[in-house]
Amino acid sequence: MIHYIETLDRSYNANVEIIYPKDVRDIQDIINKNSKVIAAGSKLSFVPNFFSNKSVTISLKNFRKVLKIDYENNLLHVEAGITVREILNIIQEKKKTLKVLPGWPEVTVGGCIANNVHGKNPYNDGIFQEIVDEIEIITPGKKETIIANRVLNSELFFNTCGGYGLTGIIISAKLKLNSIKSNNFIKKKFFSNSPEDSLELLLKNKDSYCS
């Protein structure tokens, strides 16, 4: 089906064929039948990295299941189409969170991995790949999904984190959880009179949570 889609800031748009697969076999069939495909999550990117009028977009809207939660070992296994908001609504009941949180909670896990998004304190927390323990991915020409992590298929793992979907279609991911120690936080304000003062303050307080 042809859909009109656009980037978040409406700078780019196109009429694109979007397909909504129901399972892994559907995705494999789509890849085999089309030479140019790209995955889309919530379609909230500022750049058109999830569509082209010369390619087919695969929506992962039907891949939103929580596959397993291991609160003891702080691991969450989810399908790639689930959103950050949906995850937080589940894990916050157990006082858990994701250490790296993008500013827009409606983005999907697959999108966070493909764009390797950052949170509010990347200096200390790193970017999204820091909390990705493992991914399951479909690559062109393969009959089975591939498991990739920092040890197994590590090159594929790191190329997929920030790879804008060019390595294949992410099916699921295991994410590292963090415990919420308190419902309160300490807030400090710093004032500066110049860009130089601002830089000095940042360097002096770089080990604190700041944004």
pLDDT band at 209 (very low <50, low <70, confident <90, very high): low
Task: With beta carbons less than 8 A apart as the criterion, state whether 66 and 105 touch.
Answer: no
Q: How far apart are CA 33 and CA 190, in angstroms?
A: 57
Q: Is residue 74 pLDDT above 70, yes or no?
A: yes
> Which H/E stretch holds residue 124?
helix 122-125
- Count of CB atoms within 10 A of residue 75's CB? 15
Task: With beta carbons less than 8 A apart as the criterion, state whether 40 and 50 touch.
Answer: yes
Q: Is residue 157 pLDDT above 60, yes or no?
A: yes
The structure tokens 């129901």 sit at 22
- Which comes out higher in pLDDT, residue 52 or 85? 85
pLDDT band at 73 (very low <50, low <70, confident <90, very high): very high
Which has the minimum average pLDDT: 83-92, 121-130, 147-156, 160-169?
Answer: 121-130
Which has the minimum average pLDDT: 6-10, 70-74, 86-90, 139-143?
Answer: 139-143
Helix, strand, or coil here: 158? helix
Which tokens go with 91? 């894990």
Task: With beta carbons less than 8 A apart as the criterion, state whether 51 and 14 touch.
Answer: yes
- Over residues 172-200, the pLDDT tens digits come to 999 999 999 887 877 778 888 999 988 88
Spell out the residues 6+ positions from residue 92 whose beta carbon is closer than 8 angstroms to its own. 180
Which residue type, as a one-letter code, is found at position 174? K
Which has the minimum average pLDDT: 41-55, 81-95, 125-139?
Answer: 41-55
Question: What's the chain's average pLDDT?
Answer: 92
Q: Is residue 208 pLDDT above 60, yes or no?
A: yes
pTM listed for this prediction: 0.90
The structure tokens 């995705």 sit at 27
